[in-house]
Amino acid sequence: MNGKILAIAGSDPSGGAGIQADIKTISALGGYAMAAITTLTVQNTRQVYDVHPIAANIVADQVTAVLKDITPDAIKLGMMASAETLKQLSQIFVDNSDIPLIVDPVIKSTSGHSLLEKSGIEVLISDILPLTDLLTPNLAEAAQLANMEHINSIKDMMRAGEKLIAMGAAAVLVKGGHLSGDILTDVLVCKDDIYKFSSPLIATKNTHGTGCTLASAIATGIGQGIALKDAVGRAHKYVHNAILQAPEIGHGKGPLNHFVVLD
């Protein structure tokens, strides 16, 4: 296996998002998946019903135990739930700043359930953002973090990415999945360049866990030594194909086919 990836995220018992999606994605792309669980969620493909954060010290201890034995080639941080968890993790990340950190800032579920407390958002901005090698917000998350009223265009996406880099992130991938149109575009904003990754809109309800999957796919590529632009390009294609070949599971927003084979 090529690339040891530590995913730090919540658990989704329905298997389509969170740590379950992370492990499947990392494994499908040839990496070695490690996992520290931050939250137990009560959810299925229909919605998130409840969230039970794991104590911050237990989350930190899980991560520390891995780092004492295995050095990850990249770390993917997903659902974080609490400010205290973020504070404890930030110190660990400071002490291991040579490991690339990919952050998927999970703030709300698609069904509208809050997944990160307000004080946690503040810590995310103050403590985590300056340590982040790549931030992967969707449109709503990018607007909230960048203090923008809305993001309605690719130009807005670029502006949000630039603002988030000014706030400390090394690079930002603003995901355009919720933008209207027949072509969906993700915008990668780096300090010196901007790249666009586009694909045709797929008319489907099977989009459960796309954000988790994309961030883990990028983390795997970075951990395997692939340049950021190419890692994002591969991940974008992987998610697109995984949606195209979704298995039609569940009665709500179904999961992707994480074991799709890339050309």
Residues annotated as part of the active site: 175, 207, 209-212
If DSSP states are collapsed to H, E and C, what string results for 179-202? CCCCEEEEEEEECCCEEEEEEECC
Which residues share a beta bridge with 75?
A: 6, 101
Please, are residues 197 and 185 in contact by the beta-carbon 8 Å criterion? yes
Long-range contacts from 247-251, C-beta under 8 angstroms, 24+ separation: 247/206, 248/206, 249/16, 249/45, 250/14, 250/16, 250/44, 250/45, 250/46, 250/208, 251/45, 251/46
Q: How far apart are CA 5 and CA 23, in angstroms?
A: 9
CA 81 to chain centre: 14
Please, are residues 4 and 31 in contact by the beta-carbon 8 Å criterion? yes
Q: How far apart are CA 38 and CA 53, in angstroms?
A: 6
Q: How far apart are CA 241 and CA 174, in angstroms?
A: 20
